[in-house]
Amino acid sequence: MSFTGNKILVTGPTGQVGFVVAKAFAKDNEVWGVARFSDEKKKKALEDAGVRCVTADLEKGDFSSIPKDFDYVIHLGVFRAAGDDFDLDFRNNAEGTGLLMSHCRSAKGFLACSTTGVYQANGHNLLKETSELGDNHRTMMTTYSITKIATEAVVRFAAREFNLPTVIPRLCVPYGNNGGWPYYHLLAMKHGHAIALHPDKPSLYSLIHEDDIVASIPALLKSASVPANIVNWGGSETVAIEDWTAYLGKLTGVEPKLEYTDKGTLESVMVDATKMLSITGPFKTDWKVAMRRMVEAKNPEWLV
């Protein structure tokens, strides 16, 4: 699938994943980035990369600042209310996404990024797209999983209502030169803080590198359909937090301090990547090589 010369809307371009995606596709496409843009440095970096930055309000459904004639929409934006304000989260995420899909109903494809946080925890078993859903992230973010499940339901309705080809990739643990969960663990290690892990060890996750995220998006958009296509979006490598923190420690000379507790921690999330890889083809990133690259990009002075 050729992915050049398209008019693309990317929401959440200041986020960890959206920032990388918007900049990557701006090289060969007309990319519009929609966010609140409270960080002027990130906005300038996006504009310098060729991204047209505009402000829009998903909660109010005010999209007067953006056109309707996008070829593709890559919806990566997410709003997290402080505390447990479900109503505010539903308005911004579930309702806001539905309103955005209505505005962009003429698109060839709509990618609505969800999360593997919608799955009911199931020990060390692989999670398929048909696995049971549940309030996975309650211990860390009260509204997150339920809001994401609600948003998926709205997206599924809107795809059918507007006959808008849609794909819902459930993103696992993204990481790369722009950071991610492993980098937060490294920061904790550097500051001497303990890393809290769930007692059902090891804590296994399907890491997905930002390069593989970018590379897989054109194929995922090609797989967009009515009804919406749901697919796991996690790397083909399953890695334990115990292993990646140990490796980061080896790279930096800082020994990780692990603390096992069921308070505020998540159980393992390992996805069955069969469906995803049938769409995207194999991924190329080796997690150890990528972890070193991450440290080199973020804090090269920490390497030993």
Say what the pLDDT of residue 118 is. 97
Kindly indicate the confidence band of residue 143, based on its pLDDT and cuts at 50, 70 and 90. Answer: very high
Q: What's the rounded Cα separation, in Å, for the pair 278 and 273?
A: 9
When pLDDT is cut at 50, 70 and 90, the band that residue 172 belongs to is very high
pLDDT band for position 158 (cuts 50, 70, 90): very high
Output DSSP code: residue 263: S
Q: Domain boundaries in the chain?
A: 7-175+206-235+270-283
In angstroms, rounded to a whole number, what is the distance separating the alpha carbons of residues 247 and 259?
17
Report the pLDDT value the prediction gives residue 81, as an integer from 0 to 100: 64
Distance CA 29, CA 22 (A): 10
Count the neighbouring beta carbons within 10 Å of the beta carbon of residue 275. Answer: 17
* Secondary structure E strands in 56-193: 72-75, 109-112, 114-115, 126-127, 166-171, 173-176, 179-180
Collapsing DSSP states into helix, strand and coil, what is residue 177? Answer: coil
Q: Can you state the angle between helices 96-103 and 144-161, rounded to 10 degrees?
A: 30
For residues 38 and 200, the model is more confident at 200
pLDDT tens digit sequence for 75-105: 998 877 666 899 999 999 999 999 999 999 9
**pLDDT tens by residue, 206-258:** 999 999 999 999 999 999 999 999 999 998 789 999 999 999 999 999 999 99
Q: What is the pLDDT of residue 82?
A: 61
CATH superfamily of 7-175+206-235+270-283: NAD(P)-binding Rossmann-like Domain (3.40.50.720)
Mean pLDDT taken over the chain: 95
Cα angle for residues 64, 66, 72 (degrees, 5° grid) = 140
Q: Is the pLDDT of residue 121 over 90?
A: yes
**What is the rounded CA–CA span in Å between residue 115 and residue 142?**
15
**Cβ-count burial of 119 within 10 angstroms (0-12 exposed, 13-18 middle, 19+ buried)?**
buried
Residue 71 has pLDDT above 90, yes or no: yes
Report CA-CA distances (Å) from 28 to 9, 22, 187, 300.
Answer: 14, 11, 35, 30
State the Cα–Cα distance between residues 71 and 191, nearest whole angstrom.
45
* Residue that has been written with the tokens 């698109």 in this structure: 107
pTM, whole model, 2 decimals?
A: 0.96
pLDDT at 66 over 90: yes
Q: What is the pLDDT of residue 165?
A: 98
Residue 2 has pLDDT above 80, yes or no: no
- Is the pLDDT at 174 greater than 70, yes or no? yes
